[in-house]
Chain A
Amino acid sequence: MFDFIVGKYNYWIHIILMMIGFYAMMSKRNLIKKIIGMNIFQTAIIIFFISIAAKRGATLPILEHAHDGGEHAIEAISYINPLPHVLMLTAIVVMVATLGVALAVVILVYRKYDTLEEAEILKKIK
């Protein structure tokens, strides 16, 4: 049981972070707090992806040879998986863009209602 919890600590962290973010998005009444929650949520997913790429005792996937090093076999086992990293580069771009749009929308909301509290906005809409 202990092994189950500690041995997979990366997943636990990812799940805890995700739930924190999810909670903030769903139940915080302030729009900025929601956005912060959203960011935590997204970051949790990034951490998850990165952590599944990791291997014990492996190094960065950079081939260590000079120009004249010639051909040599690549031991995949000694490198961490680069693909999730690359995916997350793209995902980060997407997330930054989302954040940008979200903030822009929040500015529009603020200009319209002079507040960022959801309850007050809903009152004004009615």
Chain B
Amino acid sequence: MIDQAPILVVIFPLIFAVVTPLLGWWKKDLCYPWVILALSLSSVCSIITLKEVLGNGVIHYHLGGWEPPWGIEYVIDHLNSFILVLVASISLLVAISSKRLVEEENPDKVVYFYTLFLLQVTGFLGIVATGDLFNLYVFLEIASLAGYALIAVGEEHAPFATFRYLVMGTIGACFYLLGVGYLYMATGSLNMADVAQILPDIYSSKVVMVAFIFLLVGVAIKMALFPLHAWLPDAYTYAPSATSALVAPLMTKVSVYVMIRIIYTVFKPYYSIEILPVNLILGWLAVIAILYGVIMALRQVDIKRMFCYILIAEIGYMVGGVGLANRLGVTGAILHIMNDALMITGLFLVAGAVVYKLGGHNINQLRDAFKKMPFSMAAFAVVGLSLIGVPPTCGFFSKWYLILGAIEAENWIFIVALLLSSAINAILFFKIVEIAYYGKASHAHNGDSHGGNTIDEAPVSILIPLGVVALAIILAGIFSGKIVSGILQFAVPPNL
């Protein structure tokens, strides 16, 4: 059982997804516990895997017993075992929160929703677990296709937004596939480790360079890196609440993971820094993405759309960290994968609670939200402080590493961008807090308002995951030293 844990992480949601429609056809109410069960099992397996990796080093799992490079190999090292735990547990949390949201927003599609939900999680987990370039493409498309379908059933203009996302997403996936094709042409292998071993001899080849560029552009589209981000705000704004809480934090993070793998595992730092200095390009794109994201967020009156632009800025943090090309920067980027996944989940769960209780995601609907939904808004405050980077929340610590990395790389402009975005995040956050805290303008203090606060809180199924996320944000901050010294320092690619 424990030997099989790496594959079970991915297999559990997959098998359960196949059974979900049958189960739903028999009894609709069973889907929810079924999904929770699947993701709990998957989370447990991911934790077992992480422990295994921490104890005994990298796990090589050969699917069907085929030796690499012929068979598909799952390689679980410190980096992806860490991200597996993150993906599995966050999707579990979102699944828990989804119950009432789905019943409210898509009452006739509950069964299909959960089927696709599991498929999408399968895709995310597969992308992270696999050590095979083509297998990664397949999982990437499983995740994306499930994502398109999930987003399309959202509100208002969701179908059209989905269509645009689909076109962009397909281009991204095709570019990635093309890159894999060129790499295969040059090396004759699809196994990441194998390719990595063969490549250094042919680093001068043009084919390899084209492959590298195609892979990166493809992944950049999937993660919505500026200037390839245009599909994201519409798609995630109109998506159903539970969907955006799942897709927004994970899709982008998983893509960042893939980028780190391509730049630092498949290609070695020697190539990506010395021969074709993509890190410089990424650094600049990151700066622009950060500034563009926060400034656009400032202009939004729709909180979900605002969160989308924040997400675009946050992607800039991670890409910028990768682009710093030193240990501190990459550590910061990986740490921020976790922190940002937590923060964005928190944001979209709050958005879900707000939509559920207050009936929309326009910023003005939040009036008096502190009175009506004190717990949700308290959680939101924690997330917001983390986005600003107030210690001891986790957002502070990724910034800490990123800035130290930037000092080491003498990349001053990135530091300025980080600090500026913190400041603008503060404005954004307090823009929302002000509306939620002050409520109606004429709220002079008089004795009568004592009894006026009627609490009308979001359902427990949303509050629990939200509470867990808020707590995790604080704990991940306090124990970030332990996380880095225990896991991440081994996850950072060597030779940096």
| Nearest Cβ on chain B to A122's Cβ, whole angstroms | 8
The residue on B at minimum CB distance from A99 is B170
- Given the known inter-chain contacts A38-B170, A42-B170, please indicate yes or no for A108 contacting B159, CB distance below 8 A: yes
Provide the residues of chain A in CB contact with B160, threshold 8 Å. Answer: 109, 112-113, 121, 125
Which residue of chain A has its CB nearest to the CB of B159? A108
CB of A41 within 8 A of CB of B145, answer: no
CB distance from B201 to the nearest CB of A (A): 20
Q: Contacts of A108 on B, CB cut-off 8 Å? A: 152, 159, 162
B355 in the interface (beta carbon within 8 A): no
Q: How many residues of B contact A (CB 8 A)?
A: 24
Tell me the count of chain A residues lying within 8 A, CB to CB, of chain B.
30
Interface string of B131-175 (1 = CB under 8 A from A): 000100110010001001100100001011011001100110110
Interface secondary structure of A, over-half rule:
helix
Is A97's beta carbon under 8 Å from chain B?
Answer: yes
Alpha-carbon distance A105/B152, docked complex (angstroms): 7
Contact in complex: A49, B181 (CB < 8 Å): yes
Q: Is A20 an interface residue (CB 8 A)?
A: no
A45's contact among B148, B152, B181, by CB below 8 Å, is which? B181
Near A by CB (< 8 A), chain B positions 172-187 give 173-174, 177-178, 181, 184-185
Chain B residue numbers with a CB within 8 Å of A109 are 159-160, 163
CB distance from B218 to the nearest CB of A (A): 11
Q: Quick check: is A91 within 8 A (CB to CB) of the other chain? A: yes
A51 to chain B, nearest CB (A): 10
Q: Does A25 make an interface contact (CB < 8 A)?
A: yes
B145 in contact with A97 (CB, 8 Å):
yes
Which residues of A sit under 8 angstroms from B173, Cβ to Cβ?
94
Q: How far is the CA of A90 from the CA of B136 in the complex (A)?
A: 12
25 A-B residue contacts at CB 8 Å?
A22-B171, A41-B170, A41-B171, A42-B170, A45-B174, A52-B184, A84-B181, A84-B184, A87-B134, A94-B138, A94-B145, A97-B141, A98-B170, A101-B145, A101-B166, A102-B166, A104-B152, A105-B162, A105-B166, A106-B163, A108-B162, A109-B160, A112-B160, A113-B160, A125-B157
